[in-house]
Amino acid sequence: MENFWNRLRKSPIFVMLVNFLLAMGVMSVCRFAFYMVNSSSFPEVNSSRLLGLMVAGLRFDLSACVYLNALYLAMMAIPFPFRENNTYQKVAKWVFCVPNIVGAFMNSADMVYYQFTNRRTNLSIFSEFSNDGNIGKVILTGLFNYWYATLFFLLMAFILVKCYYRPDQPKDKRSNRWLYYALNVPLFAVVAYMAVIGIRGGFGKYTRPLAVSNSMQYVQKPEETAIVLNTPFCVIRTAKCQSFTIPSYYATMEEAERCYTPVVDPHPREAFRPMNVVVIIMESFGKEYMGLFNRDLDGGTYKGYTPFLDSLFQQGYTFNYSYANGRKSIDAMPSVLASIPMFVAPYITTPYAVNSVVGLPGLLKEKGYYSAFFHGAPNGSMGFQSFAKSIGFDDYYGMTEFGDDRFFDGMWAIWDEPFFQFFAETMDTFPQPFMTAIFSASSHDPFRVPEQYADKFPKGKEPIHQCIGYSDMALRRFFGKASKMDWYKNTLFVFTADHTNQTTHEEYMTQLGRYEVPILFYCPNDSLLKGRSQTLAQQIDIMPTVLSYLNYDKPYVAFGQDCLSPDSTKSVVMYNAPFYQYLHNSMMLSFDGDSVRSVYDFQSDRMLSNDLRNRAVRVDTMENRLKAIIQQYMHRMVNDELTIRSSSGEEEK
């Protein structure tokens, strides 16, 4: 036994694991020191809460440590005998120590820098100081002025170097090389696999790589994400994220606000009405798939794939011109539920995803609402659970809460039919008023339907078409069940899609057509909320429209408009890289950040073939308003001003 232990503790894999745990330990010590230095910024974090945040932070420490030690892990796990050479091991020690010392320096510096930014430092710091010629002097001054952080860093560096585990390595005397490779090649594969899992933060195709925004899942307030996160992780994970730059279209923000402001200050004439609100976001449900909006296609013979939705949309209020504000699923939740469009990069993946933001559920909470978000994928998928919590949802219902893997589609989530039934049944247990949202999943690549429905729905010309038919049927069954429940008639239903998908008609292949999604407001008890409007509508209009319909009476931030109000200036904005597309009345202009690149009358010229830019078409007002929107958006993102704050500087809830 003693001989086995002696051989085990000298094996490269064992040495690697011990040192990796050392790196993890240093990360945790840095987190605790960060909290101790900045504890006054977290007055509501007691010892038990701190312990929970420390434990949650291990997930981000694991990812950061794998990033920092990727080369070291490869050197120690590579299945060749030369890795046990004494010189090789000396080199490996410094391959381990140097990156981890850099990581310790980042964490130590952020103990101080956090006091000025109130967020963990990310890669944008390099662009922020890129034009400062005295950056070296600033760093040296900081080392002396904040001596406690410097001493802490030196202590962490000392621990990493002195506690590095490297037992004396005897010459390799193994005679059975085949046995050596038989043992170590699989170990190398296991280490590589576990490293990938560590970086991604979970198993399976449904798990998106761990992002800064995932920290929102573990906190009660956005500022607590600074305890959960670590600085190396934030820097590394924002390396490919485009930092937002505040443009100077207007000399001051006050001047920009005179042209456009996202601050909504409602003054309803009637009392607040506490109706239930149910928001349905359908995966990939482009407007092209609905017959209702496309009677002119295929020579007037087109019927689409959504017979139930076609009938439902005729019972509510919808729009001939309605659009998504992004092209990805992760763009939809911020747009639909918090009125935050996607500009330059998806909000959830940016460093600003830990900003204070109060979405529809958070705003309604102060009116006594209970709220819950539903998504049939494995919990945490797509970062939805974290974002749902950040905007005020009380609870999250995913694959875990559904509790029956027999209905798992084998790739993404629970099939839509059973999950929508679960949605209705679960809502029937909620106290009223409630606000819920559901994000469907079955109309997703690889575009399959349950075996029992293999030949039930029209195949169409694209694989997605039968999935649209299946999900339409799931919605029919959902409304059939919900309509028999007590809460149904006192409910405002909102229907939209996250983005478009496969297209078969050229009208939907244009730079604008690829954003056309349906939007519906439907209330079984409101016969006046019915019709088909020529008004422009977009996903970010949903939150302010719902709040206006309920007679909500407090100020909030929203980049959309109340699309039921005759008084608001109707427009649509989207970022179609590298251009912003801005719609007003019947005109659409494309703007590259510096100048207008094209202008179309998208209503009379649906194929966008006739550029009016050089034909004396006045678009000055449109361009100025778009510039104000962009400047407001970037300013509020960078400066964490997505909520209304009281005169004392506290966020109003």
Q: pTM higher than 0.85 for the full model?
A: no
Cα separation, 546 vs 533, whole angstroms: 17
Q: What mean pLDDT comes out for the span 224-230?
A: 91
Q: Is the pLDDT of residue 652 over 60?
A: no
The pLDDT value given to residue 143: 74
Q: What mean pLDDT comes out for the span 120-129?
A: 62
Residue 647, amino acid: S
Confidence of residue 131 (pLDDT cuts 50, 70, 90): very low
Strand order in the sheet with 579-584: 571-576, 579-584, 587-591, 596-601
Confidence of residue 264 (pLDDT cuts 50, 70, 90): very high
Task: For 516-574, write each residue's pLDDT tens digit.
Answer: 999 999 999 999 999 999 999 999 999 999 999 999 999 999 999 999 988 767 999 99
Strands 596-601 and 587-591: antiparallel
Task: For 634-649, write each residue's pLDDT tens digit.
Answer: 999 999 999 987 544 4
Q: What mean pLDDT comes out for the span 100-119?
A: 86
The pLDDT value given to residue 40: 85
Q: Is the pLDDT of residue 243 over 70?
A: no
Class of domain 280-561: alpha beta
Q: Where are the domains of the chain?
A: 2-237, 280-561
278: helix, strand or coil: strand
- Residue 630 phi, psi dihedral angles, 5° rounding: -60, -45
The pLDDT value given to residue 637: 94
Query: Computed over its alpha carbons, how large is the radius of gyration of the chain?
Result: 28
Q: Is the pLDDT of residue 172 over 70?
A: no
Q: What mean pLDDT comes out for the span 361-379?
A: 96
The pLDDT value given to residue 199: 76
CA distances from 393 to 359, 384, 435, 502, 553 (A): 9, 11, 9, 32, 20
The pLDDT value given to residue 146: 85
More confident residue, 113 or 300: 300
User: In sequence order, which residues have a C-beta less than 8 Å from that of residue 1 and are 6 or more positions away?
Assistant: none
Confidence of residue 423 (pLDDT cuts 50, 70, 90): very high
507: helix, strand or coil: helix
Give the chain's mean pLDDT.
89
Cα separation, 499 vs 285, whole angstroms: 7
More confident residue, 202 or 340: 340
The pLDDT value given to residue 114: 81
Task: For 586-601, write each residue's pLDDT tens digit.
Answer: 999 999 999 999 999 9
The pLDDT value given to residue 307: 98
pLDDT more than 70, % of the chain: 90
pLDDT more than 90, % of the chain: 69
